[in-house]
């Protein structure tokens, strides 16, 4: 008899055919299993609308966090952002069910917390600032989620883009505060002292610019006692540590689409390491790398 499974899946970016193959490899059943999608559901790949329709059809069996490309789509739909030459989301923007897809996307999360076999697993698209506790991360994600679901969403999306403020402080209010939260949760790779973020470098963890570290290696990170699962960083690959789990393996660039089955270990329980199994399918390149 098949038992319930929980799967984390990295950046899909509109690659519906690899997603279909991956779900077949998992023998995924929405009546039994749960998918946790780590953001960037759309854009750059050939079938963004098909991805959204598929996930919408799974109901509560598909739990998603928003990535920077998902927010870019919402901004495009509001006229708050100019299209990029590499964008491939017209199949959503010109679809008869456009409103249903965009509304569904606006109601997705920026952070998800699940306890799996007694282990806390925090899921975001990109990263968590080192000074943020779990409770602060969830509360700050919820602030922006509420804005995206409100009548203020259009105004916020008009003001969303920019690298400032570059460092967090609790006194931030309004749009600068919301932009900082979004940048941390959906764009972060490298971080320095006092939660200062650096966005120019997109290479792997070994390419840290002077004065910065991968956000998950900054000393005294407040979420180091749990597993933080994320995507976004394709040059990092499928990093697997007890405290971090990276699952963007460059599907849209001709890499793999990756899923991680979590839990279901023989012993289970918080005293044992969280059981993990990596499952991947090879993907054709939908975009030239770079």
Q: How confident is the model at residue 1 (pLDDT cuts 50, 70, 90)?
A: very low
Examine the pLDDT at 90 and tell me if it is beyond 60: yes
Residue 47 lies in a domain: yes
Residues ≥6 apart with Cβ < 8 Å to 269: 117, 118
In a domain, 289, yes or no: no
Q: Which of the four pLDDT bands, split at 50, 70 and 90, describes residue 286?
A: confident
117 assigned to some structural domain: yes
What pTM does this model have?
Answer: 0.95
DSSP letter for each residue of 127-169: ---TT--HHHHHHHHHHHHHHHTSTTHHHHHHH--SS-S-S--
The tally of domains found in the chain comes to 1
Domain that holds residue 226: 6-282
What's the rounded Cα separation, in Å, for the pair 232 and 226? 19
In terms of C-beta density within 10 A (0-12 exposed, 13-18 middle, 19 or more buried), how is residue 185 classed? buried
Which neighbouring-strand residues pair with 35?
7, 62
In a domain, residue 34? The reply is: yes
Prior bond of 9 cis (ω within 30°):
no
Q: What is the mean pLDDT of residues 26-43?
A: 97
Flag whether 288 is in a domain.
Answer: no
In a domain, 123, yes or no: yes
Residue 94 has pLDDT above 50, yes or no: yes
Q: Where are the beta strands (DSSP E) in 154-216?
A: 190-191, 197-198, 213-214
Domain CATH for 167? 3.60.21.10
């Amino acid at each position: 008899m098949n038992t319930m499974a929980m799967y984390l899946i990295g950046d899909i970016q509109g690659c519906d055919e690899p997603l279909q193959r991956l779900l077949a490899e998992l023998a995924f059943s929405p009546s039994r299993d749960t998918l946790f999608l780590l953001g960037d559901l759309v854009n750059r790949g050939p079938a963004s609308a098909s991805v959204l329709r598929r996930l919408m059809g799974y109901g509560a069996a598909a739990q998603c966090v928003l990535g920077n490309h998902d927010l870019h789509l919402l901004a495009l739909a509001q006229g708050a952002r100019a299209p990029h030459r590499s964008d491939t989301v017209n199949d959503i923007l010109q679809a008869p069910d456009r409103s249903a897809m965009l509304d569904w996307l606006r109601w997705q999360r920026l952070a998800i917390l699940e306890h799996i076999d007694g282990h806390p697993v925090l899921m975001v698209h990109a990263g968590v600032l080192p000074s943020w506790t779990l409770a602060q991360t969830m509360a700050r994600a919820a602030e922006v989620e509420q804005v995206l679901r409100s009548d203020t969403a259009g105004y916020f999306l008009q003001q969303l883009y920019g690298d400032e403020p570059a460092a967090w402080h609790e006194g931030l209010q309004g749009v600068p505060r919301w932009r900082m939260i979004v940048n941390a949760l959906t764009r972060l790779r490298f971080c320095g002292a006092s939660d200062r973020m650096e966005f120019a470098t997109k290479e792997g963890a070994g390419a840290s610019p002077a004065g910065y570290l991968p956000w998950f290696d900054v000393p005294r990170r407040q979420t180091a006692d749990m597993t933080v699962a994320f995507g976004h960083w394709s040059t990092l690959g499928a990093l697997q540590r007890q405290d971090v789990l990276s699952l963007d393996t460059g599907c849209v660039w001709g890499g793999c689409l990756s899923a991680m089955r979590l839990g279901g270990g023989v012993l289970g329980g918080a005293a044992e390491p969280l059981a993990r199994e990596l499952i991947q399918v090879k993907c054709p390149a939908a975009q030239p790398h770079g």
